[in-house]
């Protein structure tokens, strides 16, 4: 038991050390962690400001209101803190689902070959042809995305094809390698071959694709909210932009803070995640692992 804990601890410290090798990547990693902490734990400490204060409409940032106030004099900072959770939750669900589908069926297609391969690739090509955004727009007319989990699953179910193709082609080349043949000769089983031999060799690629899927899902859902295709039900960065937009925030100079802050929050989150991938590349390379 102690050995397992030690092993995990060693893995964690090595991974962190590896991630520091790329300065930009490590800053991205720290920023991502900070944003996650603020969005997930922050709401417990910073109450959402819901009180209308007519004398404080459209205030610029100050010591009292860090990000200024909105059209009803409410604190924007508290809204930003409360609005990140749902955005990240939906994006994470979408990214997990699409990566899971892509990796599972991509390796399956490469491995099984024949009819299974043709079938999977056929479906992939069809999904790839469908323009995502218009489809979601049409679907929104029939389905109400009032449950954000469904929204995440929906986004994930549409965004896997590109990654699946990449995973399949990588698996195709990896499965011809001698170590996979040796695993077959040793009768280690398909599960072992896929999850111990193939996937670890594609891990860098999978992790990076996961973060890219994450950022894509953020943009898609914010876009849907902005267009009003997803019912505005909770405070959320996308909803904030949408409300500011419909209430004409872009026409008043004083209202700038109200529309810029959620945009900045989204941009900062995306930038952090994207730069973090540079460090992730390092963390999943076994060659570097032994140099620490």
Partner 1 sequence: MAPIIEVRNLTKQFGKGKERVTAVDSVSFAIEPGETVCLVGESGCGKSTTGRMVAGLLEATSGEVLFEGKNIKQLDSAAFRRYRQTVQIIHQDPYSSLNPTQTISQILTAPLLRHNKVKNRVAAEARALEILEVVDLTPARDVIAKYPHQLSGGQRQRVAVARALTVDPKFIVADEAVSMVDVSIRVSILTMLARLKKEFDVTFLFITHDLALAKYFAWEGRITVMYLGRIVEDGPTQRLINDPRHPYTQALLSAVPEADPELAQHKRQIELRGAEIPSLLALPPGCTFHPRCPYFVPGRCDAAVPALEALDVGGRVACPVRRQERVSLLV
SS3 (DSSP) at 69 = strand
Mark the segment that binds partner 1 (CB under 8 A) among 109-117, 156-164, 189-197, 232-240: 189-197
Residue 33 beta carbon to partner 1: minimum distance, rounded to whole angstroms: 26
Q: Is the dihedral of CA 150, 84, 267, 74 positive or negative?
A: positive
Residue 1 beta carbon to partner 1: minimum distance, rounded to whole angstroms: 12
Would you give the DSSP letter of residue 251? G
Q: How far apart are CA 179 and CA 249, in angstroms?
A: 60
Mark the segment that binds partner 1 (CB under 8 A) among 117-125, 132-140, 220-228, 283-291: 283-291
Residue 251 beta carbon to partner 1: minimum distance, rounded to whole angstroms: 56
SS3 (DSSP) at 11 = helix
Residue 147 beta carbon to partner 1: minimum distance, rounded to whole angstroms: 39
- Please identify which residue in 182, 250, 267, 292 interacts with partner 1, judged by CB under 8 A: 182
- Please identify which residue in 17, 71, 165, 289 interacts with partner 1, judged by CB under 8 A: 289
Closest to 198 (Cα-Cα) out of 113, 111, 289: 111
129 binds partner 1 (CB under 8 A): no
112 binds partner 1 (CB under 8 A): no
Q: How far apart are CA 133 and CA 93, in angstroms?
A: 18
CB 197 within 8 A of CB 139: no
Closest to 94 (Cα-Cα) out of 161, 167, 166, 159: 159
113 binds partner 1 (CB under 8 A): no
Residue 25 beta carbon to partner 1: minimum distance, rounded to whole angstroms: 20
197 binds partner 1 (CB under 8 A): yes
Look up residue 240 and give its two tokens: 């904030």
Query: Would you tell me which residues interact with partner 1 (CB under 8 A)?
Result: 177-179, 181-182, 184-189, 192, 196-197, 200-201, 203, 286-287, 289-290
């Amino acid at each position: 038991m102690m050995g397992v804990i030690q092993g995990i601890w060693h893995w964690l410290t090595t991974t962190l050390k590896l991630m520091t090798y790329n300065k930009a990547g490590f800053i991205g990693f720290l920023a991502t962690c900070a944003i996650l902490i603020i969005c997930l734990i922050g709401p417990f400490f910073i109450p959402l400001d819901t009180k209308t204060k007519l004398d404080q409409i459209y205030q610029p940032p100050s010591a009292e209101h860090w990000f200024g106030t909105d059209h009803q004099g409410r604190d924007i900072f508290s809204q930003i803190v409360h609005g990140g959770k749902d955005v990240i939750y939906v994006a994470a669900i979408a990214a997990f689902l699409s990566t899971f589908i892509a990796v599972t069926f991509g390796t399956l297609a490469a491995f099984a070959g024949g009819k299974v391969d043709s079938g999977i690739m056929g479906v992939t090509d069809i999904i790839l042809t469908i323009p995502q955004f218009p489809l979601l727009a049409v679907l929104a007319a029939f389905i109400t995305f009032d449950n954000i989990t469904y929204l995440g699953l929906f986004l994930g179910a549409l965004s896997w094809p590109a990654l699946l193709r990449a995973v399949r082609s990588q698996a195709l080349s990896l499965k011809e390698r001698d170590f996979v043949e040796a695993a077959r000769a040793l009768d280690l089983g398909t599960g072992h071959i896929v999850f111990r031999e193939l996937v670890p060799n594609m891990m860098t690629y999978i992790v990076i694709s996961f973060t890219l899927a994450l950022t894509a899902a953020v943009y898609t859902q914010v876009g849907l909210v902005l267009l009003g295709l997803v019912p505005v039900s909770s405070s959320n960065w996308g909803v904030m932009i949408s409300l500011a937009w419909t209430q004409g925030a872009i026409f008043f100079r004083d209202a700038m803070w109200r529309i810029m802050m959620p945009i900045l929050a989204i941009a900062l989150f995306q930038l952090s995640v994207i730069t973090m991938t540079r460090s992730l590349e390092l963390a999943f390379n076994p060659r570097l692992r032994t140099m620490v």
